[in-house]
Structures are given as structure tokens and as C-alpha cells.
Structure 1
């Protein structure tokens, strides 16, 4: 039985938060990406997404290997991936593919390095903007490069790679569905300190991070991904081995209309609590139809941030009251109360605040993971 052990939700090619290669794409290059698995097994397979492509994507070759340091991989661990028995594959526009299983034993919380050789022009690349991890690019076919010296360019995004699945023989994965608070903004880059990482370490269960920075529950965004009520199918429900969903989403729907004029924050409609509640109910229905247990998380305090204002305060209070008391979730985790400043419950506790009064840092994410672990 294969279980998803790592995932990243695809996004439309865009400038993103940091410089990236999504709009220019790739040609006669190899891209190497390192991800940490939250479940182990003797075999693995990778899922590649071409969700936003308008013409077929050619993958000339792909390998997986045991990670050592940076772009380097362990000698003797490189495995060539095949796709229906072939060394290369063409992914149709807006499609995806899953490789054949490759024999490579890896334990939970070990990292795997995935290398893709892209010999033809890819066009703009489906990517995940905020990896908080380093990816590498080099000229030519570098599928079997061991020392990584040929990968001279770096970025902090992931490209085409949307999931790694392992033959873990278990079906108890937890999917975290949200925005930048789930994606890990404010955590230490390259250190695996998102709350999804902390939850996997705390529970020993596979944990999938289906967060997208800036994501909205109710509106599509050119910068921040498809609306949550639509993307949940691809990013969570189609992943093998998931039995629990944790929802922490909606703060941007409330807060974008309070921010200064910035093109990245459009659309920014003024949203009422009833609209968000309807969106949550859609998520609950979709997840229950697949047999998942659904945990609702209250929105974190965000007073003093650029998302805060009179309307945002009113709606966030109404939404959190509904999450706590409606009885429509299978259970609730009150992250708002856990992370609130006792002196001002509308603000993040100073001990957890990354500095923007909106995102926690590593210590705050660890507290979130502990709170969720108690209700799993």
C-alpha cells in the first residue's frame, strides 16, 4: 500500500515571493530537489504535476537518491525512475503522472533527492513558490551527478514535483490544508521547522503539507493558488493514505481587504462570516464523502498585522465562534487560544510572533503541532 509521505501544492507560474524559475521554465537543464519524507518504506514513486501547462511537457529522465548534503547524493543510491516502463515520459497539458515504484529504502524523516532532466523547452513551470528549502539547477543531463558541483544555480521553490509516495503499508496520513501559516512562512529556511514537520516528529504519522502562502478559501488568485474549495480534491483527497484533514484557512479572505494597495493581494473582496462558513461546509462535505475525519482549526490571532482592521476583527471573531461551537467538524483544535497573548487575545503571543504579528516562528509552530497532536 502506497502512502503519500511528502507533498507540495502546485501553483500557477508567477513571480512568487522570492526569485524563481517558474515563468521562464527549463531547457536542456536538470533540476534537483530535496524533500524530507514523513513516512518510510522500501520503495517509492514520485508524482509530477503539469497542472498549468498549455502544451505537453517532456521529462527526458528522472532519478531519486539518498540525500547527503546540499545537492550531493550518496554513491550507490541513485535509482533511475521509469514511467510505465519507459525512461522518459510526456505529460499532457494540465495533466500529471506518477512514476513506477523504485527500490530505495528510506526511513521516516529521511530526505530524498529527486532530479529531473528537461531536454526540451518546458514553457512556464507549475511550481510551489515557498519551499523554505533549496532547489538546484544545472546545464545538461545531471541525473547521476553525485557531488552536486554541476548544479550552480539555486532557488527556494519546487518545480513539477508535487508528491512522493512510499510503500509504507499504512493509511493514517494527516493532511494540513491552509495558507502561509501551514506552508511555513516564518520558520527557519532549510531546517524543516514548519508545524507540519513538528507534527510528524511528534506523532510518527505521515503528515502532508497542503499549504500555499497567501491562499484563499473562496477566491482564485494569480499569485496564491486556486481557491481552497476547488484545490482540496487534487491537493488532499486524491493523495493515497490520507485519513485525517486539518483545515486552517480563511484568514486571507478576511484580511486582504484590509491591506494597502498591492497587486499580489487581488482579488480582495470584503467577505462576511456566512460566506466563509459556507466554504468550510463545502470542505467538510468533500472530505466526509471520501471517508476522512475533519478537524477544524480556529484562525490565529492577527491583531496589529497588516491584515487587521475593524471588519476583519468582527468576521474573525464570528468565524472562530462558529468553528468552536457549530458541531459540524469531527473535532476542533483552538489554535487561536493556544497562541494568543494573554494581555491582548487578539494578538499573537510575543513569544511566538515572527515579527509581523501574523505568522509564528519556529517556537510558535511547535506549539501548534503539539495542540493538533492532542486531538488526533
Structure 2
């Protein structure tokens, strides 16, 4: 269940957090709206957190980048509208990124899109654009009627050599590549290569005609591989973010749910594979998304578990105490409150039997979970520890929810996570 407690944030702490958050924002070109008029009210309907180019658990194209190719990516929106725009991130680029052309369309199957739905995207009225190194860019609006939970295909023509590509490593969704310019193709024939990562695409926003209300009902789920959807079924949208959005809609209280998870991410330390630390990326990946009103934070197992693991992807791993992890979460709470965003904490899932388990990690996990439940510092909490625990052994994930590694849920486990949330408190 989700508690409803909240403590007051001091003016000094709020100001400090606001300064921190402002410093985290990614700067660069932005080609939507006008300073002289309010323009449309955008709401994030889908999001992915950018990562620096790197190798990963599965082959990806990030380190090589693209040259003279067309990239086609499929995502599912959790809010509908009659107009859409995309957000592109070049956060980890070192030279300008040239977008020769881009389209958005409703997805048909695989790399194919619905005929007649392809819309050319422009950027400040231009069909091609360059994004500066470390920059981000929003497209102009495209008239495309989208329903909640509809899949959208974004296609980018990358005619010039991009260099290593800012990407999101683990998409659990298939992306496609073709040689040459195929941005307006409705068929899938030219797209003969595929991968399970997203590249440059960091968001899809929607709006509706005449909608000028500044809604802040978006829910961001912020965390590591469990939030990212590790071990969920590819191309079936069965992460816990998907399950929560579906549950909200079924309950008659539809809200956009945005996934800001990065597999392997840590609260306190950066990683070449697993993204910038949570306290560094929180503003960009969660608080700055349009229309966000609530953020649910589930993160810390990697901070306390990597030092127990023989996995060589994050070494040397520091031994993090419960007090250090709690201090990191307090930084996130202050930053959220400074932005007027509700901060909901989550207890860490059971880790018994996994490669993250050890006596020290188990003790720190228990201490941290008790703080989440009892301190009242988060505005509320979700108790995933108890919701997914094996009744016969509370240190382990219940067998029916275990993906097999004793660390990540399976599809049923992700649905159980969504059921554990008190929707009224969100």
C-alpha cells in the first residue's frame, strides 16, 4: 500500500534543490512554440532516458553510430492527442548531429507503418536540422490523431556520419535500420537490420486542439533495470510502467506514465554502461518532462549489490551504507519538491538468491526499506518488498514473479508491482 505522509521541505533546501535541478537541464536547440504566444500545451506521452554510447548485454549500434542510413523506432504512447512532436537527445555527442529528414506514423507491424499515416516532421519549419553537441531538440507539431496505448513509429534519415550515438541501451522493443533514405516508406522491406535499443529518440509529446490547460498529471517511474523492464517480453510492452498505465486507464483515471529507468543505474555513482548517477540525471530524465506531477523512485539495489557481485561490468564497486543511500534519496526528494512534483518512494525488491545478495547488502536493504516505510520523508511509498516477497522466504522474490535471476520480476511480477500502488495517492 502507498502511505500519504509528507514532511515540509525548508526554503533553504528547496532553493538548493532548485539550483541543482536547473544545473542538470540539457541545453541546446529547441524548435517548438513561440515566445510571443502561449502555444499548445504539451504532455509527455512516452520517454526514454539517454545514455552515453557503450557496449551492452546485447549488440547495439551506439558506438559505431550511423552513416547514410535510415533508423526506424517503435514506441507506445500512454496519452492520446490530435498532434504530436518528438524529442531528440544528443546529450553525449561531441560534434553536431545532422538530421536529414524525419517522419512520424502509426505503427502497423514490425517496421511497417499504416499507409496514409506518415507525417513529415519539421524543426523550426525546416525538414533538416543540426543538433549541437550535448544538445536536445523538439520537432514542430505534426497532425496525427493518436489514441492512448497506440504504437508510434519514428523514422530518422541520418545521411551524414553521426559518430557514436546517444541511445537507450535496453528498449525491450525492436528498432530497425536501412541503407539510404526511407523515411516515407510505409513498408518494411528496406529495413533488414534490427536491434533492441533506441537511438537519439528521448520522447514523444502530445497535445489536442484548443487544450491550453497546464495539466501536471504525468507519472514518471525513475529507477534502474526493474523500472526499465529487464526480462519483460520484447515488443509486448509488459514493463511495470506499462502495467501501471493500463491499470490507471482501467480504473477510469487515465494518466500518462513515463519510464525513466536505466538498467544497472545507481543513485550515487556514474557508470560507463549504466548511465549517470540518479542524483545527476533526475532533473533531465524525470522532473523536466512536460506535464509531470508525480515521480515514483525505485533505485538502490545496484548501489548496495554490485559490491557483492562477481559481474565485471561495474568494478570497483564501493560499499554503500544505508545512510549514504538515504542521503541520495533525500537529494531526489528535495529536487522534486522544489519543482512542485510529488515524490513517492519505493522499497527495494527482495534480492535473496541473486548475484547482488550478501549479508551486508541484505542488512542495508532492510535498513533502507524501513526508512522508506517509517520516515515520512517521501510523500508516500509503495512497498514492493512485501508485495513481491515469497511467503515462504521473505528475502526472495516469489517464484511466480521471478524472471529466473532472483533479482528481476517476470511479466507477472511487473503486473504485481502495478497492483501494489494505491492509485488515489498518485
TM-score category by the smaller chain? over 0.9
- Once the two structures are TM-superposed, the CA of residue 207 in structure 1 deviates from its matched residue by 0.2
The aligned residue for residue 343 of structure 1 is 392
SS of match in other structure, 2:145: strand
Shift of 1:266: 2.7
| Alignment correspondent of 1:359 | 408
CA distance in 2, matches of 1:267, 1:293: 35
> For the residues of structure 1 that align with 2:183 and 2:422, how far apart are their CA atoms?
39
Q: 2:265 aligns with which of 177, 193, 215?
A: 215
Matched, 1:194 2:243: no
Within 5 A, what are the aligned runs for 1:296-375?
Answer: 296-374=345-423, 375=425
Match of 1:251 in 2: 301
Distance apart, 1:83 and its partner CA: 0.4
Distance 2:287 2:328 in 1: 16
1:350 CA displacement: 0.8
1:106 matched residue in structure 2: 146
Q: Which residue of 2 aligns with 1:224?
A: 274
Aligned positions of 1:79-118 closer than 5 A: 79-118=119-158
The counterpart of 2:219, out of the listed 159, 174, 195, is 174
Does residue 165 of structure 2 align to residue 125 of structure 1? yes
CA contact under 8 A between 1:71 and 1:148: conserved in structure 2? yes
Partner residue of 1:12?
A: 52
**Structure-2 residue corresponding to 1:149:** 189
What is the CA distance between 1:370 and its match in structure 2?
Answer: 1.3
Tell me which residue corresponds to 2:30: none
**Does 2:101 align with 1:58?**
no
Q: How does 1:274-313 map to 2 (within 5 A)?
A: 274-313=323-362
Cα shift readout 1:148-177 (whole Å, capped 9, x = no counterpart)? 110000000000000000005543110000
CA contact (8 A) 1:33 1:115 kept: yes
Structure 1 CA distance, aligned partners of 2:95 and 2:197? 22
Which residue of structure 1 lines up, in the alignment, with residue 33 of structure 2? none
Q: Deviations over 1:104-131 (max 9, x none)?
A: 0100000110000001000000000000
Structure 1 residues not aligned, in runs of 5+: none
Alpha-carbon RMSD: 0.9
How far 1:261 moved relative to its partner?
A: 4.9
Deviations 1:225-282 (A, max 9, x none): 00000101110111000000000001000000000151x1234100001100100000
Q: Is the Cα–Cα contact under 8 Å of residues 221 and 266 in structure 1 kept in the other structure?
A: no
How many Å separate the matches in 1 of 2:256 and 2:405? Answer: 30
Q: TM-score, normalised on structure 2?
A: 0.87
Whole-Å separation in 2 of the counterparts to 1:171 and 1:111: 23
TM (norm. structure 1) is: 0.98
- Pair 180,110 (structure 1): closer, same or farther in 2 beyond 3 Å: same
1:273 aligned onto 2:322: yes
**Residue in structure 1 matched with residue 20 of structure 2 by the alignment:** none
Distance 1:189 1:331, change over 3 A: same
Q: Which has the higher contact order (CA 8 A, sep 6+)?
A: 2
Distance 1:87 1:165 in 2: 19
Distance change >3 Å, CA 85–CA 33, structure 1 → 2: same
Mark the runs of 5 or more structure 2 residues left unpaired by the alignment.
Answer: 1-40, 249-253
Query: Helix, strand or coil for the counterpart of 1:255?
Result: helix
| CA distance in structure 1 between the aligned counterparts of 2:369 and 2:109, rounded to whole angstroms | 43
